[in-house]
Structure 1
Amino acid sequence: MEGFALTEAVYYILLSLEKPLHGYGIMQNTEKLSGGRLHLAAGTLYGALTTLLERHWIEALGSEASSRKKEYKITPLGRQAVRAEMDRLRELLQNGETITKEWEE
């Protein structure tokens, strides 16, 4: 997992997929989780989903033949990626707080 800084979009996509969702549901959930700050366009979403599938961080679930909606779910590797990103962000925050603490004096 080392060496991969996640984009905000990928981070929220992975968080969204604890329960299976289709593309439109992912778009809605990422917007909700980000407090409305993140609006994913379809091209951005499906490009990210392709990359996440290639990395085995998500899996596509079987869909009914009559439905065009493909659902996706996070994998154990995807969960590891989220945890690694959270650790990276915590370190960034701690380093920033250590340095900027002196600025307030």
Structure 2
Amino acid sequence: MAREQFQTLTEPMYYILLSLMEECCGVDIMEKVETISAGRVKVGPGTLYAMLSKFEENHIIVKTAEIGRRKSYVITDLGKEMVEKEYKRLRIMAEDGERYFRKKDLI
């Protein structure tokens, strides 16, 4: 089911999962997304916590700790597989675009 629902990842989804290659909590995830994307992508709390819930339900991430309201998560093997698949898909798309634009002398 997770594979169908997450056939391709949105930018926020992709960066959230990248952030979770190391265990961290929600606030840290938001900061890491902004850092990894060089400030291009920002994730607000509403989006983040909705995604974390969906990812957890689909075994893409796992909660590792809960202290008060602070919850920490880390990506699972399934999540890593999804990020790698998305990375490869994006690279192929970029390479296809580069070939096309070079052929048309647009870049």
State whether TM-score is above 0.5.
yes
Structure 1 segments of 4+ aligned residues over 6 angstroms from their partners = none
Q: How many residues align?
A: 103
- Structure 1 distance, partners of 2:100, 2:65, is 49
The CA deviation string for residues 69-88 of structure 1, in whole angstroms up to 9 with x for no partner, is 00010000000001000110
Aligned equivalent of 2:48: 45
Q: What amino acid is the match of 1:21?
A: C
Q: RMSD between aligned alpha carbons?
A: 1.6
Which structure shows the higher strand fraction?
2
The CA deviation string for residues 25-52 of structure 1, in whole angstroms up to 9 with x for no partner, is 1001100001011111110001111111
Structure 2 gaps, min length 5: none
Q: What amino acid is the match of 1:97?
A: E
Q: Cα offset for 1:63?
A: 2.4
Matched, 1:91 2:100: no
Q: TM-score, normalised by structure 2?
A: 0.88
Give aligned-pair identity as a percent: 39
Aligned equivalent of 1:68: 69
- Structure 2 distance, partners of 1:39, 1:98, is 31
DSSP-derived class of the 1:72 partner: strand
Q: Identify which of structures 1 and 2 has the higher relative contact order when contacts are C-alpha pairs closer than 8 Å and 6+ apart.
A: 1
